[in-house]
Structure 1
């Protein structure tokens, strides 16, 4: 995939402060400098899933976290704390907030967005076997919204290039992102952990007994 510096620069701009608090200024600056080179190499090794693929941002973003963590040789649990603080930044909150998944209309909008991503893959057969495959099941649960993947470019890259130890860190971001939208992600398996699917069952956080 082609390098896009905006992802690396913006994410690291917001990562830098929590990293300095956790790891110190010198270690942070050294790690980010090394990570940019590593980030470019990671993208060079990644199959193109389409420059206008609406899911491409997942790769560009996740690789930043993995590149910085690997470049600094940080403990995954320590770096997770940095990611949590990063996601609590007010700017990030504005970018990903605005959703209340307890609201049926907002849940419907989220469902529509996911189906649009599936439609993109259907309209671009040259990338269909390289990008995420969306599998929806409206009958599996009474509440919320469900879908799963059996194919994930992030998992393929991580497994083929020695980053599988870092991928669960990125998978866990899903939980935090849905929390920002007042939702709860229920998940039984991930491809990163050796499962056959990566499942998403999302319900509003006010639902104490989802079915």
Structure 2
């Protein structure tokens, strides 16, 4: 995968998201070294990962965030447990004011949002042979105004974690969905996940 402008911008944003939490575990001098290692690892992950369609892919942002979290994990796992990493990610996102503001304006139960996911699913399906490690998704029960039901039968982050040899943090990436959807005043229920060996990720989104 190429290092696009989008790929360059994401680690800059995400470094700011987790910096305050990481400072609880690392000294100022160690943070400088760690930040550089994470950035270099992130770039290496992107460059060795297969293309999934760039900006044409609605899920590209999720992929880049996943790559950064994997780079973070690889460079902190000797010091931090996965539980501590989850705490850093969760607290960082909860203090990520730009994302909170953006998500507060998104109606996850709207027809427009469902259409957006549906169109993304059609694009993914059309290009599944070209991008075999990409997401596959469809929207169910589209006319229900009180529910958004999304089903993923393939997940790009599951492929990424496995290819990077860190399947143990798939669940850490999954947790971010609950947090970001709460910013939109919505609740996510997900009884099945690909990361835990199910056939699909079943997203049931309702209002809080």
Same-fold call, TM > 0.5?
yes
| 1:173 partnered with 2:176 | yes
Write the distance in 1 (CA, Å) between the matches of 2:146 and 2:102: 26
1:189 is paired with a residue whose SS is coil
Q: Deviations over 1:33-79 (max 9, x none)?
A: 11112112211232111122121111111111121122122211112
CA RMSD of aligned residues (A): 2.4
Stretches of structure 2 lacking an aligned partner (at least 5 in a row): none
Q: Deviations over 1:16-49 (max 9, x none)?
A: 1222134443443332211112112211232111
Aligned with 1:99 (options 106, 131, 137):
106
C-alpha distance 100-50 of structure 1, shift in aligned 2 (>3 A) = closer
Stretches of structure 1 lacking an aligned partner (at least 5 in a row): 206-211
C-alpha distance 69-160 of structure 1, shift in aligned 2 (>3 A) = closer
Write the distance in 1 (CA, Å) between the matches of 2:146 and 2:168: 33
Write the distance in 1 (CA, Å) between the matches of 2:128 and 2:98: 36
Q: Deviations over 1:166-202 (max 9, x none)?
A: 1210111011111111111111121111221111111
Write the distance in 2 (CA, Å) between the matches of 1:185 and 1:23: 33
Please, what TM-score do these two structures have when normalized by structure 2? 0.85
| 1:72 partnered with 2:51 | no
C-alpha distance 11-132 of structure 1, shift in aligned 2 (>3 A) = same
Query: Which residues of 2 match residues 10-159 of structure 1 at below 5 A?
Result: 10-52=13-55, 53-73=57-77, 74-89=80-95, 90-99=97-106, 101=108, 107-122=110-125, 124=127, 127=130, 129-138=132-141, 143-159=146-162
Aligned-pair distance for 1:150? 1.4
2:22 is paired with a residue whose SS is helix
Write the distance in 2 (CA, Å) between the matches of 1:182 and 1:64: 26
C-alpha distance 100-151 of structure 1, shift in aligned 2 (>3 A) = closer
C-alpha distance 123-193 of structure 1, shift in aligned 2 (>3 A) = closer
Aligned-pair distance for 1:114? 0.9
Write the distance in 2 (CA, Å) between the matches of 1:177 and 1:85: 12
| Between 122-131 and 178-187, the greater mean CA deviation after superposition | 122-131
Write the distance in 2 (CA, Å) between the matches of 1:125 and 1:160: 18
Aligned-pair distance for 1:100? 5.1
